[in-house]
Amino acid sequence: MALPGRDTAVAVARCDGYGAGEVDAAVRRAVDLAGGIGRFVSPGQQVLLKPNLLQGQEPERCVTTHPAVVAAVARLLAEHGCRVVIADSPGAGIVYSEANLRRAYARAGYAALIEETGAVLNYDTGSQIVAFPEGEVMKQFSIITPATEADAIVVVSKAKTHMWTRMTGATKNLFGLIPGLEKPAFHFRFQDEYAFGRMLVDLNECMKPRLQVVDAVTGMEGDGPQAGSPRKIGVILAGSDCSAVDTVLARLIGMDPLEIGSIKSAAARGLLDPAAVRTVGDDPADFAVPDFRKPSTYAGGRTGVWRRVVLAVVQRFGKTYAPRPGVIASSCIGCRKCERICPVHAITVTEGKATIDLSRCIRCYCCHEMCTEHAIALSRGLTGKLLARLLG
């Protein structure tokens, strides 16, 4: 049944490629199906357009929200009379500075959008404390200034698997409102994906984005959010509720929505009933990719009594099962991103190479996520391999 006060309808619009005309038509159709742009923003408002920038990579790598999708949403907002600011705080291994923002925007293809759309790129690296007394696990957040100054937030996320949260889409994308080097503290405090999901729900309830658009034209499968591979899905999703949008996305890539920590948390709070989520527009079954490759940390899939027993063991002895990060010395360039991002200071760089103290490692995989050189390898010990085989 529908939950009072929350619209859990999700628009699905076919989009087979990133040609500007095709993307523009799909985004407009999806937003119209979700109620029209006027339902979410008003003329004259300053709107923060929040893509998944991570740390800025070329669009064809599928690490960031494709610039064609960002441009299409920006044009739609500008035509409605809104002032559009594109902003994100890159991943926690990167200092949140103007120079790094410029580099990330350029590599992701966003710098070229300004003339075309009339949007502006944010270079303000300040932040403000936003109180949220009703939060379940967080009573306040440090939020980047352009988000606190915006009249409305529109999220334009990227469909990807994720080593830590299993999937990243609408809800997880808002974590980019936390200033870069403050992110590790959250990984230290919330050391499993369900606890982390509770925090993400608090963050979304605090900042209340108006509209969610997901670039699921080509997603990332495997060891996302950076080291996976592109895989076509072929849709643009749109809706007002981040958990509802993520529910549809999870099903598209062959995951049970309640395996995702943020969706599970939203359901536990009574904010979402996954069974009540409905779609409008194209049939999502036409785009489902059941063999979408999951991250190597994934423990979902088959059901049954024996599997539940094994999962209980996995949850009790998480470090035994979880892949361990290790440094590929020949690939490491000593950039120190992994050292800066590690929430428990388990990584040190000496003589230009990183080393990891596995006794301190909490298996959050932030180092793997942020390494652009693919110098962090993941492997399991013998017991972990046995558990992984039993889990299928």
101, 144 in Cβ contact below 8 A? no
Read off the pLDDT band of 1 (50, 70, 90).
very low
| Per-residue pLDDT, 341 | 86
How far apart CA 215 and CA 72 sit, in angstroms, is: 11
Please, are residues 50 and 87 in contact by the beta-carbon 8 Å criterion?
Answer: yes
Q: Which of 52-56, 162-166, 367-371, 383-387 has the lowest mean pLDDT?
A: 383-387
Residue bearing the bigger pLDDT, 236 or 344: 236
Structure confidence at residue 98 as a pLDDT band (50, 70, 90):
very high
Length of the chain: 392
| pLDDT at residue number 137 | 97
Lowest mean per-residue pLDDT among 75-79, 122-126, 127-131, 377-381: 377-381
At 310 the pLDDT is 47
Model confidence at 320, in pLDDT bands (50, 70, 90)?
A: low
Read off the pLDDT of each residue in 162-178 and give the average, rounded to a whole number. Answer: 95
| φ, ψ of residue 94 in degrees (nearest 5) | -120, 135
Please report the DSSP string for 303-370 in residue order: -SHHHHHHHHHHHHTHHHHS-EEEE-TTT-----HHHHH-TT--EEEETTEEEE-TTT-----HHHHH
Q: Which residue has the higher pLDDT, 95 or 24?
A: 24
Q: Can you list the alpha helix ranges (DSSP code H) found in the chain?
A: 20-33, 67-79, 98-108, 113-117, 145-149, 170-173, 183-189, 193-207, 242-252, 261-268, 305-316, 318-321, 337-341, 366-370, 382-391
Whether residue 120 has pLDDT greater than 70: yes
User: What is the mean predicted confidence (pLDDT) over 201-216?
Assistant: 98
Flag the least confident range among 12-16, 70-74, 163-167, 383-387. 383-387
pLDDT in tens, 137-166: 999 999 999 999 999 999 999 999 998 899
Mean local confidence (pLDDT), 161-190: 92
Average pLDDT, integer, range 191-218: 96
Distance CA 53, CA 373 (A): 17
Closest to 76 measured CA to CA, from 32, 142, 19: 32
Query: What's this model's pTM, rounded to 2 decimal places?
Result: 0.86
What confidence score (pLDDT) does residue 307 get?
A: 44
How far is Cα 318 from Cα 4, in angstroms, rounded to an integer? 38
Mean residue pLDDT across the chain: 90
pLDDT at 381: 66
CA 187 – CA 102 distance, rounded (Å): 26
